Structure 1
C-alpha cells in the first residue's frame, strides 16, 4: 500500500470518527511525511505562503461583519420586511423563512449563521401558527443552504483562492442557482401547506393599510438591505475589490449597529468580535493543514491519477459529470462547506477542466453540490444544527427534508451541471 493511499484512508477514517477537519488533514499530512521520509520544511512554508493571499483577508472581515450584524437585531427586521409582502398568503411564514435566509446570506455568507439568526426567530413563529415542528425545522435547514449561494459566500472565497479564479465571478456563478432553489422551495412550501389543518394565516387588510405596513417594514430594514447592495454594487461596479468590500461592510456595520438599530453595545460587540475571531482562527487553521495536504496530493499526482482513473471508467462526459456530482455530494456530507470547497478545487478541478468545463461553471457546480451534501444524511451538518435549534427529532424532519432535496435542490444541481449558462450568464453579462 502506497503512502498516499494510507494518507487518504486516514482522512476517511478520521472524518468518520468525528475528528475536527483541521486535525484530520494535519494528521494525514504528518502520516504521509513519516511514511515517505519527506521534509515538512518544504510543505509548511508553501502553506504559509498561500495563506498570505490578499483575497483571504476578506474572510475574517466578512465573518466579523456578519457576527456584528447578527448581534444588532438585523434578522428580526429582515423577517418583518419579507413578512409585510407575503404574510397574508397561506404558508406565508414558510416563504418568509426561505427569502429571509437568502437575504441574510448576502450579509453573513454562512449557513450556520442563517440557522442561528433566522431559525431562532422563525421556527417559534411557525409553530405558533400551526406549522408541524418537523416541517418548520426542515424548512430552516434546507433554506440555510441559500446563504452559501447568495454572495458574499465564504466557501466561494476559499474556492476562488485555491483554484485561482476571480472571486467576483465565483460569486456571480451561484446567484441564479440560489434564486431558482429559493423559488422552487416557495412553490413546494405553498403546495405542501394547502392541506395542513389548523394552519393560521395572517388576517388580510385593505390595500392602503398593507401599503403602510410595507412602507414601515421597508424603512426599518432599509439599512440592512443597503449593506449587500453597497458591497456587491461596489465589487461589480469596479469601485473596490472583494477584500475592500469586506472592509467597507465592517465599517458600515459599526455605526448602523450602534447608532441606527441600537442592538449593539460594547458587550455585544465584544462577543461578536470574539466569536468572529474564533471562527476565523479555526477556518485558517483548517485551511493551513488543507494546503499542506493539497501539496502532498499534488506531489503524488493524486488529481492527475484520479482524472485518469475516471476517464478510464468512461469517455462519456455526461457520465463523468454525474460521477463528479456524486463525489461532491459525498464530500459535502462528510465535511463543512469550506473544507469541501478546498477539496473540490484540489482533487476535482483538474478532472472538470479536462472535460472542458469552464472553471467558473465548475464553481457553481461545487457550490450547489456542497450545499446539497450539507443537508443530506447521514452527516448533514446544517440539517442537524437546524434540528437542534428547532428541538425536533430526526424522524420528524427527515420526510420534509427529503421532499425539499428531491423536488427542489437536486433538480437545480442537474440543471446547473448540464446547462452552463445558468452559472455563466451573470459573469458574462457583468464581467
Structure 2
C-alpha cells in the first residue's frame, strides 16, 4: 500500500516511532474495516494495569539520584572497596556505572553523566585508552536486570509477567554478567600495572557512611519485594519518596523548590515518551491479535524450526540485531507481543524468556553499527563511531557468552525462584 510506504519513509526520515506505530495501526484498522475503538480500549487496559504507576515513580527516583552528587559519593565508596585490588579502578568504574544504569533504566544517562568523571580516572591509573572507553561504553548498559530498573517493569506490563519474579530471576544472571566483565577488567588492570592503593578500613567505613543513602535505594526495593511487605507500585513509591527525602532534605544536593521541579520535568519527559510509545504499541498489538499474526508467525516458525535450542539461538540473534537498532523501550513494546507467544509454544518459561529478552536488549546497546551507547559515547568522547567498534568487541564477546549461558542454563534465572518457592 502506498500509505504504508509513506509511514515507513517518515520513520526513516526521523519521525517519532510512536507516530509511525499509531499511523500504521490506524491504516491497518481502516483497511480491514475494523472499528478503531479497539485502540482506546487497549489504552484503557494499559491504564488499568496495576503495575503501571511504578514506571513514573521509579523513573523519578532514578533522575533524582542522577542529578545529585551521588556519583561522587559512589566513586569514593567503590574506590575504597576495590582500590587495593588488581584492576581496582576498573572495578570501581564498573560498579558505579552498573548502579547508575540500574537507577536510570538504561536511557543513556550513565554515559552522559558519568563519562566525563570516570574516563579520566581510568587514564590516570594507566589503563589503555581503548580499554577505558570500551569499559565505560559496556558498563553503561549493565545493570538493567537489577531492581529498580525501569525496563523490567515495562516488560512486566507488556508481557503480563509479575515484576517481582523478573527482578528475582534477574539477580543471578545480572551478577554473572557483571562478574565476567569484572574478571576481564581486573586482568587488564594487572597487565597495565595500574596503581593500587593500600586498603584503609577507616576510609572504607567513612566512604560507606557517606554513600549509605544511595546504596540503600536498591536494597530498599529488594527487601520490600522479597519480604512481601509491599507490592511493586508500593516499593516504587517508597523508592521515589526516599530519594526525594535524602537528596532534598538529608544531603541537600537538590533544592526542593528551585531544583526538584526541573528534575521531575526531565523524568516526566521520559515517562511521557514511554507511555505514548506503549499506548500506540498496544493499539497496533490489538490489530495483530485480531489478524492472528502471532498465530501465523508461530505456524511459520514451527515449520522451519523444530528444536527449542535452535529457536533460542535464532531468538538471541534477532533480539541482538534489533536491540542495536531499536531503543530499548521501543524494542520491548514492539517485539514482546510477537515473541512471547513463540517462547510459550516452544515450552520456554515466561520468566526465563523475559530475562533472555532483556539481557539481549541490554547487549544491543553496544552492538555495532548503531547501538545507543556507541552513539552516545561517540558524541561524549568526540570519537568517530567506527573507532569505538574496536574498543568494545572484547566486551561484546564476553558478554555475548554470558547471554548464551543465561539462555541455555535456565537454572541461572529460575534457581533463586525455586529456592524461594516462587515457581
Aligned-pair distance for 1:268? 2.4
Checking the alignment, whether the CA contact within 8 Å between 1:135 and 1:397 is kept in structure 2 is no
Q: Does 1:296 align with 2:290?
A: no
Instruction: Please list the CA deviations of residues 256-311 of structure 1 after superposition, one character each: whole Å capped at 9, or x if unmatched.
Output: 10232221113321221110111111111111111111111111111111111111
Which residue number corresponds to residue 389 of structure 2?
398
Checking the alignment, whether the CA contact within 8 Å between 2:133 and 2:391 is kept in structure 1 is no
**For 2:143, what is the secondary structure of its paired residue?**
helix
Aligned-pair distance for 1:341? 1.8
Which of 388, 398, 406 is residue 379 of structure 2 equivalent to? 388
Select between 343-352 and 394-403 the one with higher mean Cα deviation.
Answer: 394-403
**For 1:385, what is the secondary structure of its paired residue?**
helix
Which residue number corresponds to residue 244 of structure 2?
254
Checking the alignment, whether the CA contact within 8 Å between 1:98 and 1:140 is kept in structure 2 is yes
Which residue number corresponds to residue 338 of structure 1?
329
Q: 1:75-224 alignment to 2 at 5 Å?
A: 75-196=71-192, 200-202=194-196, 204-205=197-198, 210-224=200-214
Select between 417-426 and 31-40 the one with higher mean Cα deviation.
Answer: 31-40
The two structures have a TM-score, normalised by structure 2, of: 0.93
Checking the alignment, whether the CA contact within 8 Å between 2:80 and 2:204 is kept in structure 1 is yes
**For 1:44, what is the secondary structure of its paired residue?**
helix
Distance in 2 separating the partners of 1:48 and 1:364: 27
Instruction: Please list the CA deviations of residues 227-276 of structure 1 after superposition, one character each: whole Å capped at 9, or x if unmatched.
Output: 11111101111110111111111111122102322211133212211101
Distance in 1 separating the partners of 2:128 and 2:27: 48
Q: Does 1:361 align with 2:357?
A: no
Select between 62-71 and 130-139 the one with higher mean Cα deviation.
Answer: 130-139
Distance in 2 separating the partners of 1:250 and 1:410: 33
Distance in 1 separating the partners of 2:348 and 2:134: 33
Which of 419, 425, 431 is residue 415 of structure 2 equivalent to? 425
Which residue number corresponds to residue 260 of structure 2?
269
The 3 A distance-change label for structure 1 pair 344 and 59 is same
Distance in 1 separating the partners of 2:121 and 2:252: 24
Distance in 2 separating the partners of 1:333 and 1:164: 24
Instruction: Please list the CA deviations of residues 198-219 of structure 1 after superposition, one character each: whole Å capped at 9, or x if unmatched.
Output: x6514x33x5xx1111111111
The 3 A distance-change label for structure 1 pair 136 and 19 is farther
Distance in 2 separating the partners of 1:15 and 1:132: 39
Unpaired stretches in structure 2, ≥5 consecutive residues: none
The 3 A distance-change label for structure 1 pair 362 and 11 is farther
Aligned-pair distance for 1:166? 0.8
Which residue number corresponds to residue 324 of structure 1?
315
Aligned-pair distance for 1:117? 3.1
Instruction: Please list the CA deviations of residues 17-62 of structure 1 after superposition, one character each: whole Å capped at 9, or x if unmatched.
Output: 4432212211221232343333212222222322232211000010
Checking the alignment, whether the CA contact within 8 Å between 2:90 and 2:189 is kept in structure 1 is no
Select between 69-78 and 239-248 the one with higher mean Cα deviation.
Answer: 69-78
Select between 376-385 and 55-64 the one with higher mean Cα deviation.
Answer: 376-385
Select between 415-424 and 333-342 the one with higher mean Cα deviation.
Answer: 333-342
Aligned length: 420
Select between 44-53 and 324-333 the one with higher mean Cα deviation.
Answer: 44-53
Aligned-pair distance for 1:361? 0.6
The two structures have a TM-score, normalised by structure 1, of: 0.91
Q: What is the CA RMSD across the aligned residues, in angstroms?
A: 2.2
Distance in 1 separating the partners of 2:328 and 2:217: 24
Which residue number corresponds to residue 349 of structure 1?
340
The 3 A distance-change label for structure 1 pair 374 and 13 is farther
Instruction: Please list the CA deviations of residues 111-146 of structure 1 after superposition, one character each: whole Å capped at 9, or x if unmatched.
Output: 523223332321232233333444322212211222
The 3 A distance-change label for structure 1 pair 14 and 375 is farther
Distance in 1 separating the partners of 2:402 and 2:8: 28
Checking the alignment, whether the CA contact within 8 Å between 1:104 and 1:114 is kept in structure 2 is yes
**For 1:343, what is the secondary structure of its paired residue?**
helix
Distance in 2 separating the partners of 1:332 and 1:26: 21
The 3 A distance-change label for structure 1 pair 339 and 358 is same
Checking the alignment, whether the CA contact within 8 Å between 1:109 and 1:154 is kept in structure 2 is yes
Distance in 1 separating the partners of 2:377 and 2:419: 36
Aligned-pair distance for 1:338? 1.6
